[in-house]
């Protein structure tokens, strides 16, 4: 099954790739690697804000991380066009969390699981899941990625 078919099967329509919020570019390609700047969760045109451990559940965080992954894929598609040529190399997930919150990996699984659902074996990747006391605009999660382009 093609990547586009998997997206359709999952009911995912890629949004327009979000514009940068500051002085950076959304993607940089060097050789066969594409670096994608951190993507934040956007749902129905609004940022998903909240802090894990302070009224924002792990499930809410996973859903936010999934939205970040969808934006990552939109950036990749804009940069390279054909998603069939893509392999996910590494994701870095940042979780807006209280000091006593410890389930960062479970939250970032929202992004990781989607990459595997969409890209299959080419979606399996290395990863970091890091807690932060705050993130830009108060978002719950931010995810950046490195992709290999065949």
Residue 121 domain-assigned (yes or no): yes
The whole-number pLDDT of residue 37 equals 98
Q: What is the mean pLDDT of residues 73-100?
A: 97
The whole-number pLDDT of residue 1 equals 87
The whole-number pLDDT of residue 43 equals 95
Per-residue confidence at 16, pLDDT binned at 50, 70, 90? very high
Give the model confidence (pLDDT) of 27-52 as tens digits. Answer: 999 999 999 999 999 999 999 999 99
Residue 60 domain-assigned (yes or no): yes
The whole-number pLDDT of residue 13 equals 94
Residue 24 domain-assigned (yes or no): no
Buried b (16+ CB within 10 A) or exposed e, 26-64: bbeeeeeebbbbbbbbbeeeebbebbbbeebebebbbbb
Q: Determine if the pTM surpasses 0.85.
A: yes
Of the CA atoms within 13 Å of residue 98, those in its CB half-sphere come to 10
Please tell me the total count of domains within the chain: 1
The whole-number pLDDT of residue 136 equals 96
Q: What is the rounded CA–CA span in Å between residue 109 and residue 65?
A: 8
Residue 90 domain-assigned (yes or no): yes
Residue 65 domain-assigned (yes or no): yes
Is the pLDDT assigned to residue 21 strictly greater than 90?
Answer: no
Residue 74, domain CATH? 3.30.1330.40
Contact 68, 39 (CB under 8 A): yes
Whose structure tokens read 């802090």?
51
Residue 137 domain-assigned (yes or no): yes
Listed in sequence order, the residues at least 6 apart from 112 whose beta carbon sits closer than 8 Å to its beta carbon are 69, 91, 125, 127
Residue 21 domain-assigned (yes or no): no
Give the rounded percent of residues in the chain with a pLDDT score beyond 70: 100
Q: What is the mean pLDDT of residues 4-21?
A: 94
Range of the domain at 60: 3-11+29-149
Per-residue confidence at 141, pLDDT binned at 50, 70, 90? very high
């Amino acid at each position: 099954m093609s990547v586009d078919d998997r997206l359709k099967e999952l009911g995912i329509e890629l949004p327009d790739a979000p514009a940068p919020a500051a002085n950076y570019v959304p993607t940089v390609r060097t050789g066969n690697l594409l670096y994608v700047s951190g993507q934040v969760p956007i749902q129905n045109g609004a940022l998903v804000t909240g802090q894990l451990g302070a009224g924002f559940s792990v499930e809410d965080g996973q859903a936010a991380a999934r939205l970040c992954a969808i934006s990552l894929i939109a950036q990749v598609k804009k940069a390279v066009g054909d998603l069939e040529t893509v392999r996910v190399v590494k994701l870095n997930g940042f979780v807006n969390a209280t000091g006593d919150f410890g389930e960062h990996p479970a939250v970032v699984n929202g992004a990781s699981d989607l990459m595997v659902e969409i890209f299959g074996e080419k979606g399996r990747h290395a990863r970091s899941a890091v807690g932060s006391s705050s993130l830009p605009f108060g978002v719950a999660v931010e995810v950046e990625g490195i992709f290999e382009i065949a």
